[in-house]
Amino acid sequence: MSMVLAEDRDCLKAIALMGGIREPVFISSQTLAEVLETSPQTASRRLKSLEGQRFISRAINPDGQHITVTKEGEDELRREYAEYCRLFSHEGGHYSLPGIVISGLGEGRYYMSLEPYKKQFLRHLGFEPYPGTLNLRLSGADIPTRKKLDALTWVVVHGFSAEGRTFGEVRCLPCRINDIPCGIVVPGRSHYPEDIVEVIAPVGLRDALGVKEGDKAVIEVAYD
Ligand code: CDP
């Protein structure tokens, strides 16, 4: 479940319904307060909170403000939408993606130890990742299944700057291996080999699954 406060999300949804997705909509605090059935003070507090979470951006004038739901805000609404789809649609299924455990360049441990990434994964996946990524190599026959995953709803983990460096955006798809909640992670910009999948989890998967180099593990991805 999303970690956003329900009142904030209601406010975000109200702005989106007034036409604020990806383009500015003019809204007075009075109007917003009426729509949300609350006081203008409370409405303005919610806007501050949404702005702080980067779900909206705004240009404030004396008579009101132009508010835009950002890409992050839209993603948040889509997450809730996906939850309702899971509740009310019965067309869901799942993909199974088997792969062979291999070693990478040992960079996963470093990236997964960075606080801004850790925080966002916690927020989106509900766990703080074990420092590292488990790399799986797919067989050629399973690459079409891997490609189908691109059409599902991925979480976007934002990049950041620290110590004079920039760290890129990462996309993440919730999944499971056996019964362990995991996430497939794909770095935003770099071109990525299509037969490699990197997985994060709350635990060390080699130990938890009892797998070593060359052993098989199966990623399960549920979809609506
Ligand atoms: O690049 P490489 O996968 O070799 O290393 P890493 O990403 O820095 O991860 C450190 C070690 O932990 C590797 O042996 C991974 O396979 C393993 N790992 C794991 O067992 N479970 C995880 N959830 C993440 C990494």
CATH number at residue 18: 1.10.10.10
pLDDT of res. 32: 92
Indicate the residue among 87, 110, 140 that finishes a domain.
87
105, 133, 192: residue to mutate for ligand 1 pocket, most atoms within 8 A of CB: 133
Q: Measured from the CA of 201, which atom of ligand 1 is nearest? A: 23
The whole-angstrom separation of Cα 105 and Cα 91 is 39
Whether 85 shows a pLDDT value over 90: the answer reads: no
pLDDT over 90 (residue 7): yes
User: What per-residue confidence (pLDDT) applies to 28?
Assistant: 86
Same domain, 121 and 186: yes
As for ligand 1, residues whose beta carbon falls within 6 Å of it are: 103-109, 130, 132-135, 200-201, 204-206
Pocket test for ligand 1, best of 105, 109, 112, 172 (most atoms within 8 A of CB): 109
Length, in residues, of the chain: 224
Which of 87, 115, 142 is a domain's end point? 87
Looking at per-residue confidence, does 64 or 210 come out higher? 210
**Distance from Cα 125 to the centre of ligand 1, integer Å:** 18
Number of compact structural domains in the chain:
2
Domain assignment present for 69? yes
CB 144 within 8 A of CB 194: no
Range of the domain at 11: 6-87
pLDDT at 2 > cutoff 70: no
Query: In the predicted model, is pLDDT for residue 217 greater than 80?
Result: yes
Ligand 1 atom at minimal distance to the Cα of residue 200: 23
Domain match, 176 and 142 both = yes
76 and 54 share one domain: yes
Does residue 189 lie within any of the structural domains?
yes
| pLDDT tens-digit series, residues 131-189 | 999 999 999 999 999 999 988 999 999 999 998 999 999 999 999 999 999 999 999 87
Query: Final residue of a domain: which of 87, 105, 121?
Result: 87
pLDDT of residue 8: 96
pTM of the model: 0.65
Please report whether residue 208 resides in a domain: yes
pLDDT at 97 over 60: yes
Pocket test for ligand 1, best of 111, 134, 211 (most atoms within 8 A of CB): 134
* pLDDT over 90 at 73, yes or no: yes
Within a domain: 1: no
Tokens of 53: 């979470």
Q: Tell how far the Cα of 112 is from the centroid of ligand 1, in angstroms.
A: 10
Q: Are 98 and 142 in contact (CB under 8 A)?
A: yes
Burial of 189 (0-12, 13-18, 19+ CB in 10 A): exposed
Residue 16: DSSP 8-state? I
Q: Which residues pair with 95 in a beta bridge?
A: 221
pLDDT in tens, 13-70: 999 999 999 899 999 888 999 999 999 999 999 999 999 999 999 998 877 799 999 9
User: 103 CA distance to ligand 1 centroid (A)?
Assistant: 7
Model pLDDT, residue 163: 83
pLDDT tier, 1 (very low <50, low <70, confident <90, very high otherwise): low
